């Protein structure tokens, strides 16, 4: 094998860079010359799959050089499967999975708003994309969730830290600019990073749900405050994007319904081609993670289970609770399980394990006057169907769950079952409910897809110059 690889390298050296040609100069000459041979030389009789293995061993730089030798080598060296292999194995310590990479480069590289592909999907050269992705500088990702914020580098495998979200940060009576400034300064300090050194992707929590002029103004003011604060800190480029959209991207979708179980409320958000369809309607259920934790606390108190802090109750919710496929049938089962909480010893729960999550479907159990989660999603689907936004009536039939509480085992299956029972057969046919693809950090990973795109930061980010020009135009009009 060593001899074979040496011959390959000699083939590249002798034919590619003869007469002192540089790689770039030879590439130009090769594209305009009709005399270049299409022969593989000594490798003509070797099967192409073996040659692909040789190129894998040589690595991406040598494979790129090989593509300028002759047409036959170019055909082998530019094969997308080869470059997907390189992207998976040579690009950073923690490469993206191949399916998320192909999804992001196929659907997201054009930037926001997304281009819709009414015909055939574009043919991409992953050899070119490889070269572009390795040059992407990376960014700081700040997922400002409704309960707590996740932050970290886009080139890393997962978020590196957590803090209070900017909606809860500092003195909530202070002006938004002051709170945002304190929040972002704290994040950059924890990351030990200079604000001026890299772009930032900020996920905006799902809030101001309506399509009214007042809600539009509130969303616009929040977004402008984020841009203003970061540009005042000399951040070179900012991408501020809705949290629900990022969760959808993390599930490799550009259209669907995102069910985000937040800290205070649960929102049901219809999204078409990367845009929130507020005119269709964002449904809001007055139940969130805090209510479920509070209800478990009440159940534990009723059953004389003592604990020292609400944090312990939340931990038990995350470790022991689940959603029953059939609530009535579950009541007849032995569901006892135990967990050791740090510093407080062992806790045993039984029916509390599934009664906690059941209030998402039967809020009255917890004394809450609200729709069940399945009813809110079904209503959203009815509105999407009636709106007739596209000729394709299936775009809203993919439901993506998001949020820490949405990670409860059994929730996706139960919601899908309830929707099939609640909706008409024609509307329920094809419905799929997807659990949070990356757990509680799902929106952060959606931002990671954007941050590592071969076209980032260009079409996704706004620069300070663009923001100031846009602000001046708004003042004029």
Contact predicate 142/440, CB 8 Å: no
pLDDT surpasses 70 at 78: yes
In the chain, what percentage of residues exceed pLDDT 90? 62
pLDDT of residue 73: 85
Same domain flag for 186 and 211: yes
Same domain flag for 324 and 236: no
In the chain, what percentage of residues exceed pLDDT 70? 87
Same domain flag for 248 and 315: no
Contact predicate 460/112, CB 8 Å: yes
In a domain, 120, yes or no: no
Same domain flag for 310 and 244: no
pLDDT of residue 16: 44
pLDDT average, residue stretch 87-99: 70
Same domain flag for 399 and 265: yes
pLDDT of residue 8: 57
pLDDT surpasses 70 at 383: yes
CA separation for the pair 14, 350 (Å, rounded):
74
Same domain flag for 146 and 220: yes
CA separation for the pair 211, 264 (Å, rounded):
20
Helix, strand, coil % in the chain, rounded to nearest 5: 50, 15, 40
Contact predicate 283/376, CB 8 Å: yes
In a domain, 96, yes or no: no
User: Where residue 240 sits, what CATH number does that domain have?
Assistant: 3.30.420.40
Same domain flag for 274 and 358: yes
pLDDT average, residue stretch 122-133: 88
Same domain flag for 288 and 425: yes
pLDDT in tens, 303-333: 999 998 999 999 999 999 999 999 999 999 9
Could you give the C-alpha distances from 168 to 146, 246, 435, in angstroms and in order?
Answer: 8, 21, 27
pLDDT average, residue stretch 347-353: 97
User: Which pLDDT band holds residue 5 (cuts at 50, 70, 90)?
Assistant: low
Same domain flag for 234 and 301: no
pLDDT surpasses 60 at 26: no
* Torsion 26-28-33-38 (CA) sign: positive
Q: Is residue 152 classed as helix, strand or coil in its secondary structure? A: strand
In a domain, 34, yes or no: yes
25-43 b/e (C-beta count within 10 Å ≥ 16 → b) = ebeeebeeeeebeeebbeb
pLDDT surpasses 90 at 54: no
pLDDT average, residue stretch 239-266: 96
pLDDT of residue 38: 64
In a domain, 112, yes or no: no
Same domain flag for 361 and 430: yes
379: left (phi over 0), alpha (psi -120 to 50) or beta: alpha
In a domain, 73, yes or no: yes
CA separation for the pair 412, 307 (Å, rounded):
30
In a domain, 91, yes or no: no
pLDDT surpasses 50 at 476: no
pLDDT surpasses 60 at 192: yes
Same domain flag for 160 and 177: yes
For residue 39, what are the domain limits?
A: 2-78
pLDDT of residue 438: 95
Same domain flag for 279 and 418: yes
pLDDT surpasses 90 at 152: yes
Number of domains in the chain: 3
Task: Look over the chain and give the mean of its residue pLDDT values, rounded to a whole number.
Answer: 87
Long-range interactions of 14-23: CB distance < 8 A, separation 24+: 15/41, 15/69, 15/70, 16/65, 16/68, 16/69, 23/65, 23/68
Contact predicate 162/148, CB 8 Å: yes
pLDDT average, residue stretch 120-128: 81
pLDDT surpasses 80 at 115: no
pLDDT in tens, 439-459: 999 999 999 999 999 999 999
Of 78, 106, 122, the residue that ends a domain is 78
Neighbours of 95 (CB within 10 A): 17
Of 62, 78, 94, the residue that ends a domain is 78
pLDDT average, residue stretch 32-58: 73
How far apart are the two ends of the chain, measured CA to CA in Å?
70
Neighbours of 311 (CB within 10 A): 13
pTM of the model: 0.88
Of 8 and 414, more confident: 414
pLDDT surpasses 70 at 368: yes
User: Which pLDDT band holds residue 172 (cuts at 50, 70, 90)?
Assistant: low
Q: β-pairing, 275-276 with 266-272?
A: antiparallel
Of 26, 55, 78, the residue that ends a domain is 78
pLDDT of residue 24: 40
User: Which pLDDT band holds residue 96 (cuts at 50, 70, 90)?
Assistant: low
Residue 161: enclosing H or E segment and its boundaries?
strand 161-164
In a domain, 131, yes or no: no
Q: Residue 68 contacts by C-beta under 8 Å, 6 or more apart in sequence?
A: 16, 23, 26, 27, 30, 74
Contact predicate 420/381, CB 8 Å: no
pLDDT of residue 17: 44
User: Where residue 319 sits, what CATH number does that domain have?
Assistant: 3.30.420.570
pLDDT surpasses 80 at 13: no
User: Which pLDDT band holds residue 33 (cuts at 50, 70, 90)?
Assistant: very low
In a domain, 23, yes or no: yes
pLDDT average, residue stretch 255-281: 95
């Amino acid at each position: 094998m060593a001899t074979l690889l040496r011959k390959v390298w000699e083939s590249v050296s002798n034919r590619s860079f003869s007469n002192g040609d540089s790689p770039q100069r030879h590439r130009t000459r090769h594209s305009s010359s009709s005399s270049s041979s299409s022969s593989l030389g000594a490798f003509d009789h070797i099967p192409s799959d073996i040659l692909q293995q040789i190129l894998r061993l040589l690595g991406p730089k040598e494979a790129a050089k090989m593509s300028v030798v002759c047409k036959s080598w170019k055909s082998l060296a530019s094969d997308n499967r080869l470059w997907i292999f390189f992207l998976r194995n040579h690009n950073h310590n923690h490469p993206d999975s191949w399916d998320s990479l192909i999804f992001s480069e196929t659907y997201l590289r054009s930037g926001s708003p997304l281009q819709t592909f009414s015909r055939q999907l574009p043919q991409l050269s992953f050899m070119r994309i490889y070269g572009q992705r390795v040059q992407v500088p990376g960014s700081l990702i700040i997922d400002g969730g409704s309960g707590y914020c996740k932050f970290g580098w886009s080139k890393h495998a997962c978020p590196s830290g957590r803090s209070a979200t900017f909606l809860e940060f500092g003195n909530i009576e202070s002006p938004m600019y002051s709170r945002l400034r304190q929040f972002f300064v704290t994040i950059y300090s924890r990351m030990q990073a200079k604000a001026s050194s890299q772009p930032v992707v900020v996920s905006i929590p799902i809030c101001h749900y309506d399509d009214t002029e007042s809600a539009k103004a509130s969303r616009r003011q929040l977004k402008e405050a984020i841009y203003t604060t970061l540009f005042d800190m000399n951040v070179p480029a900012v991408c501020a994007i809705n949290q629900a959209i990022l969760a959808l991207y993390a599930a490799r979708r550009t259209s669907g319904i995102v069910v985000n179980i937040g800290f205070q409320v649960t929102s049901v958000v219809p999204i078409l081609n990367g845009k929130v369809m507020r005119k269709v309607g964002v449904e809001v259920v007055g139940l969130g993670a805090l209510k479920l934790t509070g209800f478990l606390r009440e159940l534990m108190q009723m059953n004389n289970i003592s604990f020292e802090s609400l944090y312990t109750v939340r931990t038990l919710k995350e470790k022991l609770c689940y959603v029953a496929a059939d609530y009535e049938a579950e009541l007849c089962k032995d569901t006892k399980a135990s967990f050791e909480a740090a510093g407080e010893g062992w806790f045993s729960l039984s029916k509390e394990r599934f009664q906690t999550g059941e209030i998402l479907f039967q809020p009255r159990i917890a004394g809450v006057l609200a729709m069940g989660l399945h009813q809110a999603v079904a209503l959203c689907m009815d509105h999407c169907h009636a709106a007739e936004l596209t000729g394709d009536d299936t775009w809203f039939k993919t439901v993506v769950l998001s949020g820490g509480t949405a990670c409860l085992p059994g929730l996706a299956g139960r919601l899908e079952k309830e929707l099939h029972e609640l909706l008409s057969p024609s509307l329920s046919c094809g419905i799929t409910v997807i659990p949070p693809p990356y757990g509680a950090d799902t929106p952060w990973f959606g931002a990671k897809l954007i941050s590592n795109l071969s076209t980032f930061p260009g079409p996704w980010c706004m620069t300070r110059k663009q923001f100031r020009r846009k602000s001046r135009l708004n003042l004029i009009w």
